[in-house]
Amino acid sequence: MNTGPMQSSTGAEVLQRAGAILETAQRPAKPFNVAFRNRIGQSPHDYILQRRVERAQGLMLASDKTLAEIADECGLADQSHFTRLFRRFVGESPAAWRRARVTPRE
């Protein structure tokens, strides 16, 4: 079930959407990126990645899905990519983060 714009998006799909937005705005990429960074405080790419990590956090708390399944559902290449991004944005591995917050189910 696809309920949001970030769900199950591949990198190519995100780039297509970004290109469509730039075309619609009729602004070259560099001024768009500078304006976005000034307004939001991070690059468009980092913003998208952070939103994917936040979505993954929600999935880790609400489901028993594996980290590989969550990575795929959030549009990340694989579990390794997911782990690197998660550590970059959160400061710990997804497995450690999940263990510290999820009570084991019986």
CATH of the domain at 82: 1.10.10.60
Residue 36 sits in which domain range?
11-101
- 69: confidence class by pLDDT, cuts 50, 70, 90: very high
- pLDDT of 2: 39
Q: Identify whether 92 is part of a domain.
A: yes
Q: Is the pLDDT of residue 8 over 60?
A: no
pTM: 0.72
SS (H, E, C) the chain: CCCCCCCCCCHHHHHHHHHHHHHHHCCCHHHHHHHHHHHHCCCHHHHHHHHHHHHHHHHHHHCCCCHHHHHHHCCCCCHHHHHHHHHHHHCCCHHHHHHHHCCCCC
Tell me how many domains the chain contains.
Answer: 1
pLDDT per residue as tens digits for the range 11-25: 677 777 777 766 666
Q: Identify whether 67 is part of a domain.
A: yes
- 5: confidence class by pLDDT, cuts 50, 70, 90: very low
Q: Is the pLDDT of residue 72 over 70?
A: yes
Q: Identify whether 79 is part of a domain.
A: yes
Q: Identify whether 4 is part of a domain.
A: no
Q: Is the pLDDT of residue 63 over 90?
A: yes
